[in-house]
Structure 1
Amino acid sequence: MRMDKSGAAALGILGPTSCPRLAAGVRLTFDRTRENWILLAPERVFMLDEVSLEIVQKCDGATSLAMIVDDLARNYSADRDEIELDVRKLLQDLLDKKVMAI
């Protein structure tokens, strides 16, 4: 099994030091027709709500999962564990759909 630099399995399991980023060929863009932010992937479109947009915008390939969660918990004055669970769910779903990479 291949491992990424964070020690997480390369199959898409997020570790605290994983640095998620958009997968090759995926763009974050504002769709004027839908008046909404979307992830545009080959032959697929993913609509983003405000929270998922904020999470995806932080996924620059340099910022770790732990740093993303800490920043969101601080910004929303929310329980860090709850934020982490929500962020992991979203990012794992996007990883499974090959829209995100680590």
Structure 2
Amino acid sequence: MSNTINKNASIPSLNPHFRLQYEKAQECFVLLFPEGMIKLNGSAGEIMNMVDGQRTHEDIIAELQAKYPEAGELGEQVMEFLAIAQEKQWVQYE
């Protein structure tokens, strides 16, 4: 499977087999699923928290860019992460 996203499907949503939540004990976002838990780093948690089935890729990138202007251009990094998240089946596209 390649790390590319179908350009015609630009609205990611969380795979219903996963649940995203912030864990105070872990001090990070985690993805919960029946077999366990995936601890997300800060950047991954920020992106996954915006994956709501309503925001497009462009919306997510623009919001992160506005929140972290000092980070420079984030578009390519966000798209790479979303491609990996799709490959791992954390996100899906209708």
Q: Which runs of 4+ in 1 moved over 4 A?
A: none
**Number of aligned residue pairs:** 89
Larger radius of gyration: 1
1:17–1:66 contact (8 Å) kept in structure 2? no
- Do structure 1's residue 39 and structure 2's residue 53 form an aligned pair? no
Q: Which has the higher contact order (CA 8 A, sep 6+)?
A: 2
TM-score under structure 2 length normalisation: 0.78
Instruction: Output one character per residue of 1:20-51: Cα deviation in whole Å (capped at 9) or x when no partner.
Output: 11102110123455443211134242211222
What is the aligned-residue identity percentage? 27
CA distance in 1, matches of 2:6, 2:31: 20
Gaps of 5+ in 1: 1-11
Gaps of 5+ in 2: none
TM-score under structure 1 length normalisation: 0.72
CA RMSD of aligned residues (A): 2.2
What is the DSSP-based 3-state SS (H/G/I as helix, E as strand, rest coil) of the residue aligned with 2:83?
helix
